Structure 1
Amino acid sequence: MPADAPTIVATSGGVVPGARTRWSVGPLTSYAVDLAGVEGRAPRVCFLATACGDQPAVVRDFYDMAQEAGFHGNHLSLFAMPNVDDIREHLLSQDVIWVWGGSVAGLLAMWDLHGVGKVMREAWEAGVVLTGVSAGSICWHSGGTTDSFGPDLRPVTNGLGLVPWSNGVHYDSEEQRRPLYQRLVADGTLPAGYATDDGVGLHYRGTELVEALGEEAGKAAYFVERGADGTAVETRLETRLLRG
């Protein structure tokens, strides 16, 4: 059952420490799955760990989370070869696609190589809910800040652009993120966009932001744009706290 409009939940969170597993599904991911509107069966959730090289341990953690949460979990791996015969058919059959963090530059390169980006746009337009954390947040936007190239953060500007905004992740927890993101928006390297503290997500309907959502009190999202004087202007957004 597709969502009734193209839907993205882009986050700096979505998982929490597990009691019996390493990770458990967090409120942001649960919210994304609920947006798919599945009734009468387990939601089909496809996990992509491309950004961390499809590490088997990460994929295993996903299946633990999916079982605990009651999802019908499956995954798409691209290393060393795709694990499914038809990537398009596989992704379009999902209710939710969940993208993990890591190297967003590596993710975008591998997706381009295998045509995944084009399929993601088709899935999004068909109502498959897209969600993810960190690299799995930036990828839906026009670009953002990344440590894909080393410990000194750099811009990435070749995101899928499903939404026309840029994206700053881990805004409150990594000291380079906020000043670099503001500088890149101010000098025009990145367009205006939305940044998220850890544990905060952005719900887009189509290309417009519906609301900011948080897993922890006191955390927020921000809109950053270029001001008339050529400096960055940051506006803190009202962020609705989700209950786990």
Structure 2
Amino acid sequence: MPRTPTIALLGGFSDDPDTLLDDFALERAGRPRPKVCFLPTASGDAPGYVEKFHATFAGRGCETGHLELFRRTVTGLRPFGPPVPLADGLGLLPGSLCPHYDGEPERRPGYLAAVNDGALPGGWAVDGGAAGVFADGCLVEVVTRRPGATLHRVSVGGDGSVAEVAQPVRQLGT
């Protein structure tokens, strides 16, 4: 039975100066009109961000959709305090996920603390500009549009300490 890819893509269409991650994801879809779903949770489902996603990918011949996890009237989460774990994810992959791992000073220490304290299970932390490709729940490939960006495996070791391991990455556009 062929493995079905799931792409966890963060970074890309919004602020990047190129379309390397978008191109990679659409090529991996392997069909002329792929279905692309946007989970704008990190932006608090900011309407402008969602609209930009639809315009960008519909303009590239995709069937677009998005899944709102918040109903906010502001464009970010800052007025509501620091980022906190969202413990009831979608179940697409086992464990937890931290987007924008290197993008905000409080992301990395907050995620590591949440895993260490048991508020979240171990999982994946993705830097801006990187993407992980999973098939049947297993990591297949990590790509980046930006040198130094990658996907990190975060887990609690046998001694109870949190470990993060940067995954090997393939640089796009080189």
Aligned to 1:212, the other structure's residue is in SS state: strand
Contact kept in structure 1, 2:21 and 2:145, CA below 8 Å? yes
Shift in CA distance, 30/237, structure 1 to aligned 2, threshold 3 Å: same
Cα pair distance change 1:186/1:33, threshold 3 Å: same
Distance, in Å, in 2 between the alignment partners of 1:56 and 1:17 is 13
- Decide whether the 8 Å contact of 1:27 with 1:215 is kept in 2: yes
Question: Of the candidates 12, 15, 22, which is equivalent to residue 14 of structure 1?
Answer: 12
The equivalent position to 1:180 in structure 2, one of 105, 110, 120, is: 110
1:63 counterpart residue number: 55
Q: Which of structure 1's runs of 4+ aligned residues deviate more than 3 A?
A: 44-54, 73-76
- Is there any run of 5+ residues in structure 2 with no aligned partner, and where? 72-76
> Contact conserved, 1:168 with 1:196, CA < 8 A, in 2?
yes
Where structure 1 has 5 or more consecutive residues not aligned to the other structure, the ranges are 77-98, 108-146
Q: What does residue 195 of structure 1 align with?
A: 125
Structure 1 residues 149, 213: closer, same or farther in 2, change over 3 A? farther
Q: In structure 1, what residue type is equivalent to 2:55?
A: Y
| Distance in 2 separating the partners of 1:59 and 1:189 | 33
CA RMSD, Structure 1 to Structure 2 (Å): 3.1
In the superposition, the TM-score normalised over structure 2's length comes to 0.78
Identity %: 27
Distance 1:148 1:202, change over 3 A: farther
Matched, 1:72 2:36: no
Normalising by structure 1, we get a TM-score of: 0.58
Shift of 1:170: 1.0
Moved more, 44-53 or 168-177: 44-53
Aligned mates of 2:117, 2:15 — CA distance in 1: 38
Q: How does 1:32-43 map to 2 (within 5 A)?
A: 32-38=25-31, 42-43=32-33
Aligned: 1:170 with 2:100 = yes
CA 1:203 to 1:56, structure 2 compared with 1: closer, same or farther past 3 Å? same
Deviation at residue 48 of structure 1 after TM alignment: 4.5
Specify which of 13, 21, 29 is matched with residue 28 of structure 1: 21
Distance 2:52 2:164 in 1: 39
Alpha-carbon contact 1:63-1:73 (below 8 Å) kept: no
Indicate the SS of the match to 1:224: strand
Aligned residues: 167
